Amino acid sequence: MCTKTLPYFLSGSVVKGFGRGSKALGIPTANLEDKIVDALPSDFKIGVYYGWASVDAKVYKMVASVGWNPFYKNEKKTVEVHLLQKFENDFYGKQIKVIFAGYIRSEQDFTSEEELINAINNDIAVAEKELQQPCISAYKDDKFLKE
């Protein structure tokens, strides 16, 4: 669904996260540096988003989690971007540009890693569908991602 509060554009360096995305969940994420997370507007809704991201001017579909990851009891807010593409190598230190184009759901806690993985896979399925909407797919060609 196209909204008036989105899209939201941000960019920053990819930093090492907790190492859970790839190792524990099999769903690697690019974690944004703290200063980018801290600069989010105070009314930026916590939860799971979909949209587009670029690394080295190549554009990919993405889902992103913004929040505290209650399953892992994080003490600081994070922005973790999962690119819907397999990569051979990580890209720590590289700039990532992200367009949050739509909102999937609020942050929630889970009773098991399996339940968390199922929810993330459902988020990915929702993103794949929503990113096909013309008003959303148009953002993949936004000059912001290609600069």
In this structure, what DSSP letter does residue 87 have?
-
In this structure, what DSSP letter does residue 61 have?
E
User: SS3 letters for 5-20?
Assistant: CCCEEEEEEEECCCCH
Task: Kindly report the backbone phi and psi dihedral angles of residue 88, in degrees, each rounded to the nearest multiple of 5, phi listed first.
Answer: -75, -35
Q: By three-state DSSP, how is residue 79 classified? A: strand
ω into residue 28 within 30 of 0, thus cis? no
Residues involved in catalysis? 80
Rounded to the nearest 10 degrees, how much is the dihedral formed by the CA atoms of 52, 54, 59, 63? -30
ω into residue 7 within 30 of 0, thus cis? yes
